[in-house]
Amino acid sequence: MTLKMNTTQNMPNQDSNNVVLKVENISLSFGGVRALNNISFDVNEHEIRSIIGPNGAGKSSMLNVINGIYHPQEGSIFFNGKTRNRMNPTDVARHGIARTFQNIALFKGMTVLDNIMTGRNTLMKSNFLTNALWVGPARDEEEEHRAKVEEIIDFLEIQHIRKTPVGKLAYGLQKRVELARALAAEPTLLLLDEPMAGMNVEEKQDMCRFILEVNNQYGMTIVLIEHDMGVVMDISDRIVVLDYGRKIGDGLPDVVKNDPEVIKAYLGSGH
């Protein structure tokens, strides 16, 4: 697939080198298996930073480290002005990192609207008591956040399914709802784990368009894992390449594309 982009958007924002996230010397093992070995890279504000690599390269593990689901044995993570050894999922969400999952983790029994509303959970301040009694503040807040969610629903063009239970939707639409839920949190950093996996060409084009718009219009910083090389090369500002838990490449799409080691490990393997 091709996506017509003007070149300036494809350039990294080198002049505004504002680092949002920086992982340094991250190592993660499960028992004797090294999933990540001494990985370092940074993510600048407003850029689309992709992580690629063959199956089992450690891409999802990397995302899970940033998100706090996995705790690395070594290394540090700089985010939001603070350096930490490990992240905690709840804290991470409260500090503006939202994500989607490789194997869609939506709340299947709930409607699209309710799913997206859960994304605003950290932004809603009402407490148990006002919720239980359903008094003024809780009710006003509900309406105010509902309006924001409707904006996101319009943006992602899913108005027609907003009252449908998520479990009944087609795969491609579920992926879009998951993106909506992540956007609802108004994150500063958005982690997308294979947002286009299992989609047909048309759905992929839509998803690309949404990701680019999120990046351009809202200036959201995005870390993306994706298998479709065409897509990755088209929309990424910079790319990290992992193989067997090691970083073997890092840079602009054109540079990474022509790196012999990367070609050997990944692109050359008949992809």
Partner 1 sequence: MQFFIEIVISGVLSGLMYSLVALGFVLIYKASGVFNFAQGAMVYAAALAVVGLMGYGIPMWLSIVGAFVYMIIIGIGAERLVLSKLVNQPSITLFMATIGLSYFLEGLSSILFGNEVRSIDLGVVDEPIMSIMDATGLGISKFDLFASAIIIGLVILLSLFFQFTKIGRALRAVADDHQAALSLGISLEHIWTIVWIIAGFVALVAGLLWGSRNGVQYALSLTALKALPVLILGGFTSVPGAIVGGIIIGVSEKLAEIYIPPVLQEAFGGNYGGIEGWFPYIFALFFLLVRPEGLFGEKHIDRV
Give me the residues that bind partner 1 (CB under 8 A), please: 67, 69, 89-90, 92-94, 98-99, 101, 105-110, 114, 117-119, 121-122, 124, 126, 128, 131-132, 134, 138, 141-142, 181, 185
Q: Say whether 210 sits in a helix, a strand or coil.
A: helix
Output 135 or 255, the one with its CB closest to partner 1.
135
Specify the residue for token string 């899970």: 64
Q: Least distance from C-beta 12 to partner 1, angstroms?
A: 27
Number of CB atoms found within 10 A of residue 128's CB: 8
Q: Least distance from C-beta 237 to partner 1, angstroms?
A: 24
Q: Least distance from C-beta 54 to partner 1, angstroms?
A: 24
Output 29 or 131, the one with its CB closest to partner 1.
131
Output 107 or 218, the one with its CB closest to partner 1.
107
Q: For residues 198 and 170, give the distance between their C-alpha atoms in angstroms, rounded to a whole number.
A: 11
Output 222 or 262, the one with its CB closest to partner 1.
222
Q: For residues 45 and 176, give the distance between their C-alpha atoms in angstroms, rounded to a whole number.
A: 24
Q: For residues 34 and 85, give the distance between their C-alpha atoms in angstroms, rounded to a whole number.
A: 18
Output 76 or 118, the one with its CB closest to partner 1.
118
> What string of H, E and C letters represents the secondary structure of 71-102?
CCCEEEEEECCEEECCCCHHHHHHCCEEECCC
Q: For residues 14 and 259, give the distance between their C-alpha atoms in angstroms, rounded to a whole number.
A: 21
Q: Least distance from C-beta 135 to partner 1, angstroms?
A: 11
Q: Is the dihedral of CA 217, 194, 57, 78 positive or negative?
A: positive
User: Do 18 and 63 contact (CB within 8 A), yes or no?
Assistant: no
Q: Least distance from C-beta 163 to partner 1, angstroms?
A: 13
Q: Say whether 52 sits in a helix, a strand or coil.
A: strand
Q: Least distance from C-beta 89 to partner 1, angstroms?
A: 4
Output 5 or 105, the one with its CB closest to partner 1.
105
